[in-house]
């Protein structure tokens, strides 16, 4: 690894992505949107038809494919892990159009057991040249450390520790056995790890796993429903660490804490109790109080249940 050489190269235009309302709807379906309460993501004639905030991760992840030939960076593709992700929106995403992605290497850190590549992706509206989003990928390359580089960077966007109190809201949602198959078609990541059992076993997994960015989007949906009135324009940013994998068909539990304009969260697999997204947060423009707007989001068919524990604040548990 040659961090200085990697940082001095770029930014380069790595992808131009044309899309229509059909792609917007397909993505929403891929991250679990439901007609019962997410019609504004699913119907192009809805008065509030919107693009889900994490839609732009698809074009951005395609942009990262250039890392394999980036000057100053050498790695075995089978040793690469998507360790962390940050997304910030500067405006709402158009429901159709053309996006341009530009990528640069912010830094390459020496973590001993591996190298952490911080790749920044800027997403622009190609027609207006207005920046829509900024993303930072934390790409960990196993076994590529000990190259004499620094261990920390001012360019790194930090994670957060969750509050030491019971979560204010917990949302439960089951993924489908076909979740990864659908997401790989609409989310921009065709890695066979998510569909090919033999490839997954070669990569060290017993079976194909769900995309971490799909799990991220599920959790962002939970936050927006619980604290933003299900309004995507309330979203500013999200930061997560990918802590473990999800098997398609498993149930996600998103535990959320309101901390000012930030909703801290972590996501677990119900069946194993394992944390799969950790040290995470969503920043909102105008967060509601805990569970606010949930009556509009979850009707009686959603099996809403309000419970209290040890006299503390009520927690909303929604089973989708």
pLDDT in tens, 35-64: 999 999 999 999 999 999 999 999 998 888
CA angle (221 as vertex; 171, 15 as ends), nearest 5: 145
Catalytic residue among 212, 222, 247, 275: 212
Mean pLDDT, residues 189-205 taken together: 90
Predicted confidence at residue 310, as pLDDT, reads: 30
pLDDT bin (cut points 50, 70, 90) of residue 319 is very low
Predicted confidence at residue 316, as pLDDT, reads: 40
Q: Which residues 6+ apart lie within 8 Å of 168 measured at CB? A: 256, 257, 258, 290, 291, 313, 315, 316
- Please determine, for residue 298, whether its predicted confidence score (pLDDT) is greater than 80: no
Predicted confidence at residue 117, as pLDDT, reads: 94
For residues 64-77, one letter each, b for 16 or more C-beta atoms within 10 angstroms of the residue's C-beta and e for the rest, the string is bebbeebeebebee
Which of 274, 242, 273, 279 has its CA nearest to residue 257? Answer: 279
- Please determine, for residue 296, whether its predicted confidence score (pLDDT) is greater than 70: no
Catalytic residue among 117, 209, 263, 275: 209
pLDDT bin (cut points 50, 70, 90) of residue 304 is very low
Predicted confidence at residue 291, as pLDDT, reads: 55
Asked about 194 being catalytic, the answer comes back as yes
pLDDT bin (cut points 50, 70, 90) of residue 318 is very low
pLDDT in tens, 93-141: 999 999 999 999 999 999 988 899 999 999 999 999 999 999 999 999 8
Asked about 212 being catalytic, the answer comes back as yes
Share the mean pLDDT of the chain: 89
pLDDT in tens, 137-174: 999 988 888 888 888 999 999 999 999 999 999 999 99
Identify the weakest region by mean pLDDT among 33-42, 195-204, 221-230. Answer: 195-204
- Please determine, for residue 313, whether its predicted confidence score (pLDDT) is greater than 80: no
Asked about 155 being catalytic, the answer comes back as no
- pTM for this model (two decimals): 0.89
- Cβ(174)–Cβ(140) below 8 Å: no
Catalytic residue among 25, 93, 189, 222: 189
Torsion of CA 237, 47, 18, 124, to 10 degrees: -40
Asked about 114 being catalytic, the answer comes back as no
Catalytic residue among 37, 85, 194, 222: 194
């Amino acid at each position: 690894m040659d961090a200085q050489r990697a940082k001095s190269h770029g930014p380069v235009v790595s992808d131009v992505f044309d899309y229509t309302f059909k792609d917007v709807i397909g993505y929403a379906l891929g991250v679990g949107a439901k007609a019962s309460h997410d019609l504004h993501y699913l119907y192009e004639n809805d008065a509030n038809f919107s693009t889900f905030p994490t839609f732009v991760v698809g074009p951005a992840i395609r942009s990262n494919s250039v890392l394999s030939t980036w000057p100053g960076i050498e790695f075995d593709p089978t040793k690469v892990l998507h360790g962390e992700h940050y997304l910030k929106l500067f405006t709402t995403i158009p429901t159709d159009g053309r996006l341009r992605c530009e990528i640069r290497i912010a830094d390459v850190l020496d973590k001993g057991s591996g190298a952490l590549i911080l790749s920044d992706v800027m997403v622009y509206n190609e027609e207006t040249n207005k920046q829509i989003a900024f993303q930072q990928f934390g790409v960990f390359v196993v076994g590529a450390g000990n190259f004499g580089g620094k261990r920390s960077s001012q360019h790194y966007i930090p994670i957060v520790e969750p509050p030491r109190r019971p979560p204010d809201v917990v949302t439960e949602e089951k993924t489908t056995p076909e979740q990864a198959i659908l997401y790989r078609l609409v989310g921009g990541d065709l890695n066979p790890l998510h569909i090919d059992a033999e490839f997954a076993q070669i990569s060290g997994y017993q079976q194909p796993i769900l995309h971490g960015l799909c799990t991220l989007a599920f959790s962002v949906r939970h936050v927006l429903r619980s604290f933003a009135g299900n309004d995507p324009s309330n979203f500013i940013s999200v930061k997560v660490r990918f802590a473990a994998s999800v098997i398609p068909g498993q149930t996600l539990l998103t535990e959320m804490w309101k901390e000012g304009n930030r909703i801290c969260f972590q996501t677990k697999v119900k069946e194993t109790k394992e944390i799969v997204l950790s040290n995470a947060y969503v920043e909102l423009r105008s967060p509601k109080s805990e569970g606010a707007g949930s009556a509009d989001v979850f009707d009686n068919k959603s099996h809403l249940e309000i419970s209290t524990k040890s006299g503390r604040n009520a927690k909303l548990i929604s089973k989708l």
